[in-house]
Amino acid sequence: MEPDFRRAMGWLHTWAGVLLGSVLFAIFWMGTLSVFDIEIDQWMKPATRLPPAAQTLALERFRPSLNEAIAARAAFWNVEPPNDRQSVASVHYRTKTGFVSHDIDPVSGRTLPDAGTLGASGFIFPFHYSLHLRIMNLGTWLVGLASMAMLVLCVSGVIIHRKIFAEFFTFRPSKKPRRLLLDLHNLSGVLGLPFHIMLTFSGLVILGATFFPASINALYPNPRGYFYEANGLSFLNVKPGQPGAPVVSLDETFARAQAVWGNGSPETVLVATPGTTTGRIAFFRDRTQQVVMDRDVVAFSSTTGELVSHPPAPRAIIRTQRFLSGLHLIHFHHWVLRWLYFMLGLGSCLLIASGFLFWQASRRTKQANTFGFRLVEGLSAGSITGIMLATLAFFISNRLLPPGAHAFGMGRAALEIGCFYLVWVGAFLHGWLRPRRVWIEQSAAISAFSALAAMLNWITTGDHPLHSLANRYLWPVAGMDMLLLVGSALAFLTARKLARKQPGKAVGKTV
């Protein structure tokens, strides 16, 4: 290969990584945690830790919540029955004043007390694809830019790797830190390459309508038309009706949906514009036993119970898109694959972190006191160990804040998020103010925060790891606590090793 070309790719790889590494790490970190979003939700909402019900709750038991939605003139109301990842049901509806969400006891049908948290599915998962920057959709565009950069980094990384096959299995823990970091970067990059490319590309495909709207704009009068057609939601394309109309029996309508499907159970039941003359009841068939996220939706009129639509099977191109969406969103229930995704996601985080650290280790001798180096050093600390600390602060605040907490004009859920950002900003500042000790101190803080989070779960709920392990329905909580404790131990060992090697000296040389 031409040396100039390889050098150019090396330059591209270095600077694309340095500039967007922080965003990429945030995306991959939050994406990795999102693999277990429902399980983290259970940890953060102790009231939802319930054994699964022996019998399925009839849909009509959710009628009081539906009536509330009708009274509030909700745009939609939906219920998600319990499944093998989540033993409680949940109802959601959107009114003019906001989004309402309740968890429902699967046995009694009573509404569980509000946990006062967004949990992982309300905060961590949206952060993964929007960075919670909603102004002008900035976060989603930034995620798109970083994803494109990730693909460029993968390709340029392969090009600049001089011995990709000769060093395919090379990992030399006894070598000097700089070489070790490069080995780690190469190993996590090359061996995880299929995962990095597959997940990054499928992520871009999922948000393709945002990034590449030209074809949709050319074919549809507005993007909503595309959205309805592509997702089998054409039944929503109706004019607003008059209020005051009844909603037919949900259970009887469901029996008719089952007759259409032949068999199957719903993963979501949606009532669009409930209580109006053009209202619709739609049943989304459970598709958790396959990768492809093809929506099989049967829709009925909510006032007459008449069948409105049952779209045909999607064409090959849409099916391909849904395969890619499915493999990214892990909509399916497959525990081995879920854990594989989690471990490979951590591998992606390791890839980005080792790239950052290698950049610093290569320049520390000559540029340690330059502004640019100090800037990247603080940036990398804040974006690697900092976001871990912030996430742990989010968990700790969840266990420490009392129910109904309110301060600075913010509710409990907002306070948790406030803690996240406060600790994250603090970690960046710490990185810039104490560059020599930042990795040691933040690793030690991660260790302490992780152990504290697990401990607080025990103190506030009584569910210590042994108790959680002994009860099958508490395994998600046990898994979370175990990972926190293992993370705590690993962070402690890292901090100790860093501190022992060269106390008082810059850490990049000692990693």
Partner 1 sequence: MSTTCLFYLPLCLWLFIAFALLALTQFNHRRACGMTDLPPSRTRLIRLMAGVMLLFALVISIAHESSGFGFLLWVGLLSLCACAVALLLGWYPRLLAPLARLMAKPST
Residues 449-478: b if buried by 16+ CB within 10 A, e if exposed: bbbbbbbbbbeebebbbeebeeeeebbbbb
Choices 47-55, 258-266, 271-279, 343-351 (CB under 8 A): range interacting with partner 1? 343-351
Region from 322-330, 375-383, 411-419, 491-499 binding partner 1, contact rule CB under 8 A: 322-330
Q: Closest distance between partner 1 and the C-beta of residue 344, in Å? A: 6
Q: How many CB atoms lie within 10 A of CB 214?
A: 7
Tokens of 315: 């064409």
User: Rule CB under 8 A: is residue 323 a binding residue for partner 1?
Assistant: yes
Look at residue 291 and give its three-state secondary structure.
Answer: coil
Strand order in the sheet with 297-301: 99-104, 89-94, 76-80, 266-272, 280-285, 297-301, 307-309
Residue 207 near residue 223 (C-beta atoms within 8 A):
no
* Paired strand residues for 92: 78, 101
- Long-range pairs, 430-433, Cβ under 8 A, ≥24: 430/381, 430/382, 430/386, 431/377, 431/378, 431/379, 431/380, 431/381, 431/382, 431/386, 432/374, 432/375, 432/377, 432/378
Shortest distance in whole angstroms from residue 234 CB to partner 1: 26
Cα-trace Rg, the chain: 25
Q: Does 324 bind partner 1 (CB under 8 A)?
A: no
**172 binding partner 1? (CB under 8 A):** yes
| CA dihedral for 50, 52, 53, 56, sign (positive or negative) | positive
Of residues 157 and 275, the one with the C-beta less far from partner 1:
157
Q: How far is the CB of 330 from partner 1 (least distance, A)?
A: 9
Q: Which of 58, 340, 375, 429 lies at the binding interface for partner 1 (CB under 8 A)?
A: 340
Q: C-beta of 325: minimal distance to partner 1 in Å? A: 12
Measured from the CB of residue 232, what is the shortest distance to partner 1 in angstroms?
Answer: 20
Measured from the CB of residue 231, what is the shortest distance to partner 1 in angstroms?
20
| CB closer to partner 1, 82 vs 326 | 326
Q: Which of 2, 96, 136, 169 binds partner 1 (CB under 8 A)?
A: 169
Measured from the CB atom, the residue of 136 and 317 that comes closer to partner 1 is: 317
How many residues belong to the chain? 511
The CB density around residue 389, as the number of other CB atoms within 10 Å, is: 25
For partner 1, give the closer residue by CB, 192 or 274. Answer: 192
Please name the amino acid found at residue 414.
A
Instruction: Note whether 164 binds partner 1 by CB under 8 A.
Output: no
Query: What is the dihedral angle through the alpha carbons of 201, 202, 208, 211, rounded to the nearest 10 degrees?
Result: -40
Contact 417, 394 (CB under 8 A): yes
The two tokens of residue 336 are: 């081995």
- Burial state string for 413-441 with b = 16 or more CB within 10 A and e = fewer than 16: bbbbbbbbeebbebbbebbeeebebbbbb
- In the complex, the smallest distance separating the C-beta of residue 474 from partner 1, rounded to whole angstroms, is 17
The distance of closest approach from Cβ of residue 351 to partner 1 in the complex, given in angstroms and rounded to an integer, is: 11
Question: At how many degrees (to 10) do helices 37-44 and 3-34 cross?
Answer: 40
**Which of 334, 363, 434, 501 contacts partner 1 by CB under 8 A?**
334
Residues in 283-302 at the binding interface with partner 1, rule: CB under 8 A: 290-292
**What is the enclosing helix (H) or strand (E) of 94?**
strand 89-94
Candidates 36-44, 334-342, 489-497, 501-509: pick the segment binding partner 1 (CB under 8 A).
Answer: 334-342
Closer CB to partner 1, residue 136 or residue 316? 316
Q: Give the nearest distance from C-beta 167 to partner 1 in angstroms.
A: 9
Among 318, 337, 448, 482, binds partner 1 (CB under 8 A): 337
By rule CB under 8 A, what count of residues binds partner 1? Answer: 30
Nearer to partner 1, 114 or 167 (CB): 167
The DSSP element (H or E) to which 272 belongs, if any, is strand 266-272
Q: Which is nearer to partner 1, 332 or 432 (CB)?
A: 332
168 near partner 1, judged by CB under 8 A: yes
- Residue 473 as a binder of partner 1 (CB under 8 A): the answer is no
Interface with partner 1, residue 170, by CB under 8 A: yes
Q: Please, which of residues 177-196 interact with partner 1 by CB under 8 A?
A: 183, 187-188, 191-192, 194-195
Please report how close the Cβ of residue 329 comes to partner 1 at its closest, in angstroms.
Answer: 13
- Interface residue with partner 1 among 343, 410, 422, 429 (CB under 8 A) is 343
CB closer to partner 1, 166 vs 317: 166
DSSP string, 167-218: TTT---TTS-HHHHHHHHHHHHHHHTHHHHHHHHHHHHHHTHHHH--HHHHH
Which residue among 245, 344, 361, 390 contacts partner 1 (CB under 8 A)?
Answer: 344
We find the least distance from the C-beta atom of residue 195 to partner 1, in angstroms, to be 6
Closest among 424, 418, 336 to 379, alpha carbons compared: 424
Asked if residue 198 binds partner 1 (CB under 8 A), the reply is yes
Which of 44, 120, 204, 327 is the binder for partner 1 (CB under 8 A)?
327
Q: Cα dist. 57→41, 45, 109, 377 in Å?
A: 22, 21, 7, 54
User: CA neighbours within 13 Å on the CB side: how many for 416?
Assistant: 26
- Shortest distance, CB of residue 355 to partner 1, whole angstroms? 17
Residues that bind partner 1 (CB under 8 A): 166, 168-173, 183, 187-188, 191-192, 194-195, 198, 290-292, 323, 326-327, 332, 334, 336-337, 340-341, 343-344, 347
